[in-house]
Structure 1
Amino acid sequence: MKKIVALLAMTVLSGQAFAADAIVSAPEPAPVEYSAFSWTGGYIGAHAGYGWGRSQDVNNPQASEQKTKGGFGGLQAGYNWQFDNNIVLGAEADVSFGSVKKNWYGRDENQHSPYYGTDKLSTNGTVRARLGYAADRFLPFVTGGIAWGHTKYNLGCDSTLVSVTVGKCWRGNSGQAFDTNNSKTVVGWTVGAGLEYAVTDNWTVKGEYLYKDFGKNRVHLFDPNAAANINDRNFKTKVSEVRIGVNYKF
């Protein structure tokens, strides 16, 4: 009996010693390493903004420069590559829907009243390169590339819009009333800058400024009261934009 008790005591004591050794020798958990955000990957998103610009018929020395403005919204998609030195190189394409325009009337400018017209930039977009520097989740960048847009111009004259004493439709106040319009897809260039921030690993928000120059583009607007060479108008179009957007990163 004494031998059995002694054997049980030795078993208990050796178990406690083994447990103590196990507790002492248990490895400590490894420290959690911080992983910086990577901008590499594709994305899609949406944007909204406001534009303002200038449009002028440079063929007609008596035509005033029109100041256009308006809102828009659209979609974008692109891809970024982040390098070991935190430089980020990307490519992006976007399309915007809206209307940056000016409705003008001769009587507002005391010029060729009662002529009227509309200069408008509607659907437009860009294909751009982006170059930025990643400060973890912040990405300031510059951008530039090709811009395209759909322009529309309206020109008309209606002597009933004003009193007869002001004038009729040119040609010694004896011209005829008319209304004509034409549209054209134009191509130019764009540059800009912005800042993007990664809210989560998949969602980012951004703000940017773009300047678009579509150069000079010839548009035919027939005016029965004008000389033949003035009917081929040559419009110069420039637009500035501020926009905010959100992207989903894959």
Structure 2
Amino acid sequence: MKSIAIAGAMGMLMISPTAAQTVDWGGWYVGGFGGYGHARENTQVTSTTAWASPMFFDDGSGPQYGIPDPITKTGNWTSESAYGPLWGGRAGYNWQSTNGVVIGIEAAIGSIDAAYSIHTRTDNGLLGSFYDQEFTIDWTASLRIRTGIANGRFLTYITSGVTFADVNYQFGRGEYGFNFERISFIDANDSYTGIGLSIGAGVEYAIDDNWSISTELTYTRFISENTYSALRDYFGTGTYNYSAADTTISFPDLRVGLNYRF
């Protein structure tokens, strides 16, 4: 009877939380991840029309001849979303204290297939109108700090840091004439590396002494990017157009991963 009681006590010890808390999160690790991202862009376009040659015009004070003052129009807001899967790899290092606090640094790079595109044409006889917009993100890279609490085989953490992304953006709208030549339009085109600040939270579970699985939700807000188009002369008339766009991108993503701890 005594031996049975001792065996039962040993069994309870083997499955007790104290025994489960022997997981060591400290040291180097590498891994991979996959998930889904939602990129949302908000853009305000400002268009300026200017003239280089004298002409007859009426600015509201009556007909006159000369070079009119430039006309600036602001407020062509666009707001679109691009969804897509993401995948990539990561590597990091953790420091673990005796009371279960884990602090680490992690670098990750991945590819994302997030794109939005719309092209419309309206034929009004001799004239027509058009609207074009394209928005894509091809890759992301990040460097972040992780701070968490180890509890048994679980590591619950928050994360923050800097994220980079390859952003491609195009916006255009206006009118076209006989041979589909654009008569008046505003446009903004740019391809740049966006820089943003990221915050997030996640949980990681140790399968054994080396392998672990994780899930993480992160939100990134990229710094606004100013895009400019060159001055354009319509059909040699001396009428010029200049466009500027201010684009802000937010990017939440959910990812699951598999890590190997050395």
Residues 99 and 181 (structure 1), Cα distance of their counterparts in 2 relative to 1, 3 Å cut: farther
Instruction: Compare the two structures and name the one with the higher helix fraction.
Output: 1
1:236 equivalent in alignment to 2:248:
yes
Following superposition, the deviation at residue 125 of structure 1 comes to 1.4
Whole-angstrom CA distance in 2 between matches of 1:72 and 1:221:
31
**Measured at CA, do residues 246 and 135 of structure 1 come closer, stay the same or move farther in structure 2, by a change above 3 Å?**
same
Structure 2: how far apart are the matches of 1:222 and 1:99? 30
Give yes or no for contact 2:216–2:255 (8 Å, CA) kept in 1: yes
2:90 to 65, 76, 80: 76
| Structure 1: 4+ residue segments shifted above 6 A | 177-180
Pairing of 1:206-217 with structure 2 (within 5 A):
206-217=214-225
Whole-angstrom CA distance in 2 between matches of 1:223 and 1:114: 20
Conservation of the 8 A alpha-carbon contact between 1:47 and 1:75: yes
1:203 and 2:211 are equivalent in the alignment: yes
CA contact (8 A) 2:113 2:137 kept: yes
In the alignment, which residue of structure 1 is the partner of 2:195? Answer: 187
In the alignment, which of 97, 104, 107 is matched to residue 90 of structure 1? 104
Structure 2: which 5+ runs fail to align? Answer: 1-9, 47-74, 123-127
- Of 159, 162, 183 in structure 2, the residue corresponding to residue 143 of structure 1 is 159
Aligned mates of 1:121, 1:169 — CA distance in 2: 30
Structure 1: gaps (5+ residues): 1-30, 158-166
C-alpha distance after superposition, 1:118-165 (max 9, x if no partner)? 1112111110000100002100110001111111113456xxxxxxxx
Which structure has greater strand proportion? Answer: 2
Quote the Cα distance in structure 2 between the aligned partners of 1:241 and 1:120: 15
Q: How many residues get paired?
A: 205
Partner of 1:175: 182
For residues 115 and 156 of structure 1, what CA distance do their matches in structure 2 show?
6
The range that moved more, 131-140 or 212-221, is 212-221
Q: Is the 8 A contact 1:68 1:101 kept in 2?
A: yes
TM-score, normalised relative to structure 1: 0.72
For the residues of structure 1 that align with 2:130 and 2:97, how far apart are their CA atoms? 61
In the TM superposition, residue 198 of structure 1 has moved relative to its aligned partner by: 0.6
> Within 5 Å, which residues of 2 pair with 1:57-136?
57-60=43-46, 61-106=75-120, 113-136=129-152
* Conserved 8 A contact 1:215-1:238: no
Asked if residue 43 in structure 1 is aligned to residue 29 in structure 2, the reply is yes
User: Is the 2:188–2:245 Cα contact (8 Å) retained in structure 1?
Assistant: no
What is the TM-score with the length of structure 2 in the denominator? Answer: 0.69
Q: Is the 8 A contact 2:231 2:242 kept in 1?
A: no
Q: Distance in 2 between matches of 1:123 and 1:223?
A: 31
Once the two structures are superposed, what CA deviation does each residue of 1:169-194 show, in whole Å capped at 9, x if it has no partner? 49xx9735999853101211000000
Q: Pairwise CA RMSD of aligned residues?
A: 3.0
Q: Which residue of 1 aligns with 2:72?
A: none
CA distance in 2, matches of 1:223, 1:155: 16
Rounded to whole Å, the distance in 2 between the matches of 1:174 and 1:100 is: 31
1:20-52: CA deviation from partner (whole Å, max 9, x where unpaired): xxxxxxxxxxx8984711100110011111111
Q: Which moved more, 1:114-123 or 1:198-207?
A: 114-123
Q: Decide whether aligned partners of structure 1 residues 86 and 220 sit closer, same or farther in structure 2, where only a CA change above 3 A counts.
A: same
- Judged with a 3 Å threshold, the aligned counterparts in structure 2 of structure 1 residues 238 and 227 are, in CA distance, closer, same or farther, namely farther
